[in-house]
Structure 1
Amino acid sequence: MALAQFPLKNMFIVAAWLETCLYGIYFSLFWFSVYINSRWTRNGHRPSQVMFVSSILMFVVATAHVAMSCYRMIRGYVDFRNAPGGPVSFLAVIPDWTHTFNDVLFTLQSLLGDAMAVYRCWILWNRDYRFVILPFCLLLVSLVSGAKVTTSVADASTFKFDTSLRIWITLFFSVAVAQNIITTTLMAVRLWLTEQKSMRFRMGSGAFLPVIRILVESAALYLFLEILLLVFSALNYNVQYILQDAMTPVIGITFGLIMVRIILRAQNQSSHGRARTIGSMALRRIVMDISIPIEDGPDPKMEYGRESENTGIDV
C-alpha cells in the first residue's frame, strides 16, 4: 500500500521549523569552533587552514539556505495566504528562482561535506592517492548527478517527477550514503592500524581509539538522515523534502563536531605534554620505551624509523 503523502502546506512549515532549529545548533557550534581555533592558534599551534576555510564556506551556505527558507515562508504564508490555493500556490512552484536557489545551496553543501571527507582520508593516509581513488570517483559522480538533478528539477512543474529524474535523484542520495560509509571506514581503519603499530613498538595503547569514536559518533547523525532521505526518495514520499532542508545544517554540524571534539581533546592532552599528530589530527603525547639489541644485521633504528613513518605519527 502506497504511503499517504504529507500535506504540502504542513510539509513546508515543518521543514522550515526543523531547519531553523538545527541551524541554531549549528550557529552556536560554528562560533565555538572559531573561538577554540583562535585559542589554539595563539598557543602556537597551526590548525588545518583547509578545514577552517571549508567550515566557513559551509556556514555561509547554511546561513544563505536558512535565510532563503525564511523568506519563502514569509512570502508563502503572508503574501500568498489569501491567494487561490493558499501558501502552496507559491511554495509548490518549483521553477521559482527561490526554490532553485535553495536546491543549488543544498547540492553545494553536500558536495562540500563529501569533499572534506575525502580530504581527511587523504591526510590520514599520508597523502597516498591510492586510498582515496574510490571516494574521489564517487565525489565526481555526486557532482555530475547533483548538477543533473538541480537543472532538471528547475525545469519541472510539480513535485511528481518523471522516472528518469527520480533515477538521478536516487543516484545522488545513494552515492552520498556510500561516500559517507566508505570515508568514515577508511579513516577508522587507518587509525586502528596505527593503534596496532603503536602497541607493537610499546608506544602505549588507546591513543587513537578515542579519535575513531569521535569520527564514527559525529558521522552517525549525518549517515542516519542520509539513509532516511534515500529511502523516502526511493518511495517518492514527500517527507524527503523536510529531511532535505534539514541536511544543510546537519552537514555543517557533523563537520563542526569532528573539528571541535578533536581540538578539545588535543588541547586537553597537550596540557599534559606535547601533542602528537596523525595527518592533521592532534593526538595525545606517546611515551616510548624502546630497547635496541646490539647484534649483526640490519640497523634496528633504521627499521624502526621506516615503521614509524608508515604510521603517520610525528615522532
Structure 2
Amino acid sequence: MSAPVSLIQAFLVSFWLEGVLYGFFVCIFALSLAVNLGATKQQTGHSRAMFIVGIVTFILATIHISINCMRMLRGYVDHSSLPGGPVGYLGILSQWDHVFNNVIYATQSILGDCVAVYRCWILWNRNFLVVCVPFLMVFGSAVSGYMTCAIFAKIQPGSTVFDKELDAWIKTFFAIAVAQNIITTALMAWRIAAADRQTSSYRVTKNNLIPILRILVESAALYLTAEIILLILYVANSNAQYILLEIITPIIGITFNAITIRITLRSQSNQSVHVGEMTSSNSRRPPGNIPLHPMITVNITEQTDYDPESQWPLEGK
C-alpha cells in the first residue's frame, strides 16, 4: 500500500501541475483570441458574450496562479526555517491569501456552471423548464462555495479542510459541480443527437450535427473527470485533493476556450457551403429545429413562399 501524500508534497505537486496547465491555457487563450478577432464580422451577440467570458476565465486563472506563486515563495522561502516550516504557513486556512484564492476558485467554477446552463438553455429553445434544475444547482453551488470561503476566514488555527465545520459544505460544492456537469452535458448531447436524427431525412449534404456533439462531450470530459477525482479524494480524506483543487481553475478555462475555438472554426468552414447544397426545391422545414445560430453561423440566402393550406413555409421555391 502506498504511503499517504503529505501536505508538503501536495503543495509542491499542485503548484507544479497548475503551472503546466496554466501554460497550456495561455496557448489555448492566445489561439482563442486569434480565432475570435479574425471572425469579428461573423460574430453574433452570443459569440461576443462567450468571447468576453473566455477573457474573464483567463483573468481569474492568472490571478489564481499568481496568488499561489506568492504563497509558495512565502512558504518555502520566508518560512522555510521557521517553526512548522512551509506547511506551518501554507496550512493555515484563515490566511487572507488562502481565502482569496479559494474565492477565485469558487468564482471560476460557478462561472463555468453558469455558461453550461446558458448553452443548454439556448439549445433547448430557451425553455426554462428544461434547465430549471441545473439553474437551481448554480445557486446551491454559489451558496456552498462562498460559505466555505467565509468559514475559512474565521476558522481556528490548526484546523484542516477535513474538519466537520467544513466537511459538509465542501462535499456539497464538489458534488453539485459533478452532478451539474453530467446533467447539462447530457441535456445538450440529447438535444443535438435528437435534432440530428430528426433532420437526417431532410439533409441533402453530408454535414450533420454529430461533430458538435463530439466537441461538447470531449471538452466536458476533462473537467468532469477532474471534478470526480477531486470529490473522491476529498471523501477519502487524502491530501492529494489539494493537487486536483489547484488545477481545476485552469482546466475550466481550457475546457471553455477549447469549445469556443472548435465551434468557431467549424462555423467559419460551414459559411463557405453553397446555398444550393443546403436547400432542396419544394422541401418543407424539418421538424425539431434547434437554434444553432448562437453557436454556428451559416449565411443562407433564400426566397420563402407561404402555403396557407399546409401551414408550412416552402423553402427554395
Q: TM-score range by the shorter chain?
A: 0.7 to 0.9
Tell me the residue number matched to 1:129.
128
Preserved contact between residue 124 and residue 279 of structure 1 (Cα < 8 Å)? no
Output the CA distance in 1 between the equivalents of 2:254 and 2:139: 23
Match of 1:36 in 2: 35
Cα deviation for residue 130 of structure 1 reads 1.4
SS of equivalent residue, structure 2 residue 126: coil
Q: Distance in 2 between matches of 1:266 and 1:273?
A: 14
Instruction: Summarize the alignment of residues 257-296 of structure 1 with structure 2, pairs less than 5 Å apart.
Output: 257-273=258-274, 278-282=292-296
Does the 8 A contact of 2:267 with 2:296 survive in 1? yes
1:244 partner letter: L
| Structure 2 counterpart of 1:299 | 309
Q: Residue in 2 aligned with 1:185?
A: 186
Contact map agreement 1:125 1:279 (CA 8 A) in 2: no
1:249-276 alpha-carbon deviations (Å, 9 max, x no partner) = 0000000110001111112222344799
User: Contact between 2:161 and 2:167, CA under 8 Å: does it hold in 1?
Assistant: no
In structure 2, the CA distance between the partners of 1:74 and 1:19, relative to structure 1 (3 Å rule), is same
- CA RMSD between the two structures: 2.7
Superposition deviation, residue 49 in structure 1: 2.2
SS at match of 1:127: coil
Q: 1:1-315 alignment to 2 at 5 Å?
A: 4-42=3-41, 44-46=42-44, 48-156=47-155, 157=157, 158-159=159-160, 161-204=162-205, 206-273=207-274, 278-282=292-296, 299-300=309-310, 302-303=311-312
- 8 Å Cα contact 1:121-1:132 kept in structure 2: yes
**Paired positions, count:** 297
* Letter paired with 1:143: A
CA distance in 1, matches of 2:274, 2:51: 25
Tell me by how many angstroms 1:208 deviates.
0.5
| Alpha-carbon separation, structure 2, partners of 1:117 and 1:160 | 28
Paired AA for residue 138 in structure 1: M
Greater Cα offset, 241-250 or 144-153: 144-153
Shift of residue 304, structure 1, vs aligned partner? 5.8
Equivalent position amino acid for 2:54 in 1: S
- Aligned position for 1:313: none
Amino acid at match of 1:256: N
Identity percentage over the alignment? 43
- Cα shift at 1:15: 0.7
C-alpha separation in 2, matches of 1:70 and 1:34: 26
The 1:273/1:91 distance shift into structure 2, 3 A limit, reads farther
TM-score (norm 2): 0.86
Report the CA distance shift for 1:262/1:111 in structure 2 as closer, same or farther (over 3 A).
same
Deviation at 1:279, TM superposition (A): 4.4
Quick one: structure 1 residues 197 and 18, their matched pair in 2 at CA, closer, same or farther if it must change by over 3 Å?
same
Distance 1:224 1:111, change over 3 A: same
What secondary structure sits across from 1:102 in the alignment? helix
Is the contact between residue 266 and residue 284 of structure 1 (CA under 8 Å) also seen in structure 2?
yes
Matched residue type, 1:131: V
Q: Per the alignment, do residues 286 and 188 of structure 1 end up closer, same or farther by CA in structure 2, a change over 3 Å counting?
A: farther
Amino acid at match of 1:88: V
Kept in 2: contact 1:204–1:287 (CA 8 A) = no
Tell me the CA shift for residue 201 of structure 1: 2.8
Letter aligned with residue 71 of structure 2:
R
Q: How far, CA to CA, are the matches of 1:87 and 1:50 in structure 2?
A: 42
**What TM-score, normalized by structure 1, do the two folds share?**
0.86
Distance in 1 between residues matched to 2:274 and 2:61, nearest whole Å:
37
Displacement of 1:162 after TM fit? 2.7
- Give the partner amino acid of 1:182: I
Q: Which moved more, 1:161-170 or 1:172-181?
A: 161-170
Q: Using the alignment, how far apart are the partners of 1:59 and 1:160 within structure 2? A: 27
Mark the runs of 5 or more structure 2 residues left unpaired by the alignment: 279-290
Contact 2:67-2:97 within 8 A present in 1 as well:
yes
